[in-house]
């Protein structure tokens, strides 16, 4: 049966009411790593090159392979090739053979695509804001958890100003900051004790020396 829509001519072996559909299948064997998202090439029969189609997952993806597929819009390329997005939420590696039917394909009806209305803008912004807030909170929770995990195995070093050191390092990393982004003289940094011939000064001592130099210079200028 043929279906004509604009410049696209489609011949398919399935028909759902007025929508003509086909089945997309894997081209080669596919390896899906645990908890991953993978975009793979698929063979989409019966559709002409240049057609814009929408792919939706087959039911057997979840029942047979325990994976999920996302709605994907793509253009048909040479040799009836397209792309599809697969998600493996499991902790195991999933293997798919070639020529496995994984998605239902139909032409994208542009008449059903509408622009956002002005009255919907506020609602969409609130949804995006809430989504961004939830994602940010989840990141902070994960960072706090990782910080507690690593901090329990570290401890601050005790030192004196006369001890010789090789440099400064941070044992307690603030959440959300990499050590390389910290200022060199942050108060949460400790001194590593070695036998080198160099010494270090505290931040307060360096500040006092600077203040003394400024006072001496001002005194000379007054004279």
Q: Report if pTM > 0.85.
A: no
Which string of b and e fits 55-91 if b means at least 16 CB within 10 Å? bebbeebeeebebebeebebebeeebbbbbbbbbeee
CA distance 31 to 94: 6
pLDDT in tens, the chain (223 residues): 333 333 333 333 444 444 567 899 999 999 999 888 899 999 998 888 888 899 999 888 888 888 989 889 999 988 889 999 999 988 889 999 999 999 999 888 877 777 767 777 777 778 888 888 888 888 888 888 877 777 666 665 566 665 555 555 555 555 555 555 555 544 444 444 444 444 444 455 555 666 666 666 666 666 5
Cα–Cα distances (Å) from 53 to 4, 124, 140, 156, 162, in that order, read: 14, 26, 39, 60, 73
């Amino acid at each position: 049966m043929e279906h004509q829509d604009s410049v696209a001519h489609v011949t398919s072996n399935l028909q759902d009411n007025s929508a003509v559909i086909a089945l997309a299948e894997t081209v080669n064997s596919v390896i899906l790593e645990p908890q991953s998202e993978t975009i793979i090439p698929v063979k989409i029969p019966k559709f002409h090159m240049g057609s814009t189609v929408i792919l939706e997952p087959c039911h057997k993806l979840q029942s047979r392979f325990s994976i999920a597929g996302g709605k994907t819009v793509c253009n048909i390329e040479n040799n009836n090739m397209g792309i599809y997005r697969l998600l493996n939420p499991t902790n195991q590696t999933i293997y798919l053979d070639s020529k496995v039917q994984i998605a239902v394909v139909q032409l994208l009806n542009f008449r059903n695509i509408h622009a956002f209305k002005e009255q919907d803008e506020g609602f969409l912004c609130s949804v995006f804001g809430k989504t961004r807030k939830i994602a940010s909170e989840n990141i902070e929770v994960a960072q706090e958890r990782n910080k507690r995990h690593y901090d329990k195995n570290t401890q601050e070093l005790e030192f004196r100003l006369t001890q010789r050191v090789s440099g400064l390092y941070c044992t307690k990393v603030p959440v959300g900051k990499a050590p390389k982004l910290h200022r060199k003289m942050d108060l949460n940094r400790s001194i590593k004790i070695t036998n080198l011939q160099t010494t270090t000064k505290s931040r307060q001592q360096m500040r006092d020396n600077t203040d003394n130099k400024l006072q001496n210079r001002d005194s000379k200028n007054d004279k």
